[in-house]
Amino acid sequence: MGKSLRQNWFIYLLVLVLAGVSSYYIYDTSKGKLKGKSVDGENVVYAIGDQNMTTSAFYDAMYKNGGTAALYHAVVRKVTDASIKTTDEMKKKAQQQTQSVISSYAQQYPTNYQEKLDEQLKQMGYENGYKDLETYFIDYQKQTQLTSDYAKAHFDELKIRNISYILISKEQQSGGVLGKPSSQQQETMDQVDAEIAAGKPFAVAAAHYSADTSTASKGGVLGTIDKNTTNLDEDFLNAALLLNEGEISDWVYSENFGFFKLYCNASTPETLEKVVQQQALDAANGVDYSAPQASASASASPAATVDPETVKSDPYEDLVSKWDTTLANVAIWEKAESMNINFANKEDRDSLRNYMGLPEETPVETGAPTATAGAQ
């Protein structure tokens, strides 16, 4: 993942989501299949609290075009709207993101970008299509906040860590035994160990020795991860999760990359927010840890010119938007159940859970209702 992807993740996310929705539909053209609870003579597809989505409203608006995908987006929007208030900051950010996506789509589809966005947003349940792009981004911010709140509340269970690392590239490997460092690699690794033992900050050592040019000058900072992170080397992740604050791992071998040494910047909620705020301040100040005057923090650096009060950071938002993309649906479902979500039948409920990638539910005891979740 390059710098562009990290800076414009929301654009790529929308492109992926919109592209994926059109290929992931489960069509159902039988309006009469949606049966169950009735309100004013109409069947109800699902209910959250005292809000009911009737068969005709749901079918005419979305289900005939989107199947389970439409049901998913409808439930997500209901849950997030009821849980998170829309703020002026959300609106401002959504406006900026909307313009970025429009620019991106206009470059990719110069003759029909509005039609592309219009079609794809309607398939996700946004009845006004292209005109609802800003609403989509407000909804996404709400979902991210809800998921971030879930991550914060389940910190220990998720084994959340903020990690930095040094990579000794496998490119230095020249023959020899797989998993055993070459003489050149071993020499570099010994030098790193010696300098850290002598008191050199891990961030400075990373800047001087790490082969990963995307993170080296930033002190080797990877970011905030958890046990569900899937886009990391498995050996790397396992080693990271074993570390507590201030601990440094042994050298970890990766067949794909080489040898890693990891440092845990934070493993508690109290420390995490302070650490991530400092990292954001470092980035805002353009601190380069490979520079001769580099220190262990931006606040002590001659380059520190940005007012800390103007720098905002959220470690949980970073986690759920970049590293652990599995949490969103878990958080949505938990919140929906707390709001007494009910479905017309068990088939709809199971179909939605399967779509969300949630595990199959344990069968309830005989005689208990099977199409209802949460307290009654």
Q: Where are the domains of the chain?
A: 3-153, 159-313
The reported pLDDT for the residue numbered 296 is 54
> Among 31-35, 207-211, 216-220, 258-262, where is mean pLDDT lowest?
31-35
Q: Chain-centre distance of CA 310, in angstroms?
A: 24
User: In angstroms, rounded to a whole number, what is the distance separating the alpha carbons of residues 343 and 35?
Assistant: 9
Q: Is residue 291 helix, strand or coil?
A: coil
The greatest distance separating any two alpha carbons of the chain, rounded to the nearest whole angstrom, comes to 79
Q: Tell me which residue has tokens 């709400």.
A: 142
> Among 15-29, 79-93, 320-334, 347-361, where is mean pLDDT lowest?
15-29
Q: Does the pLDDT of residue 13 top 70, yes or no?
A: no
Parallel/antiparallel/unpaired status of strands 42-48 and 51-54 = antiparallel
Better pLDDT: 31 or 323: 323
Q: How far is CA 301 from CA 162, 163, 288, 293, in A?
A: 22, 22, 10, 7
The reported pLDDT for the residue numbered 243 is 98
Helices (H) and strands (E) in the chain, counts: 15, 8
pLDDT averaged over the chain? 79
Determine whether 243 is exposed, middle or buried from the number of CB atoms within 10 Å of its CB (0-12, 13-18, 19+). middle
Q: Is residue 73 helix, strand or coil?
A: helix
Q: Does the pLDDT of residue 158 top 60, yes or no?
A: yes
The reported pLDDT for the residue numbered 287 is 86
Contact between 319 and 326 (Cβ < 8 Å) = no
Residues 6+ apart with CB under 8 A from 4: none
Q: Does the pLDDT of residue 344 top 80, yes or no?
A: no
The reported pLDDT for the residue numbered 234 is 92
Q: Chain-centre distance of CA 298, in angstroms?
A: 27
User: In angstroms, rounded to a whole number, what is the distance separating the alpha carbons of residues 263 and 279?
Assistant: 14
> Among 21-30, 31-40, 306-315, where is mean pLDDT lowest?
21-30
CA angle 10, 15, 20 (to 5 degrees): 125
Q: Tens digit of pLDDT for each residue in 107-149?
A: 989 999 999 999 888 888 788 888 999 999 999 999 999 999 9
In the predicted model, what is the mean pLDDT of residues 220-226? 96
pTM of the predicted structure, to 2 decimals: 0.74
Long-range (24+ apart) CB contacts under 8 A made by 278-287 are: 279/162, 279/221, 279/313, 280/311, 280/312, 280/313, 281/306, 281/308, 281/311, 282/218, 282/219, 282/221, 283/218, 284/310, 284/311, 287/218, 287/219
The reported pLDDT for the residue numbered 15 is 42
CATH architecture of 159-313: Roll (3.10)
Q: Does the pLDDT of residue 261 top 70, yes or no?
A: yes
In the predicted model, what is the mean pLDDT of residues 13-36? 34
Strand order in 221-225's β-sheet? 221-225, 161-169, 258-266, 252-254
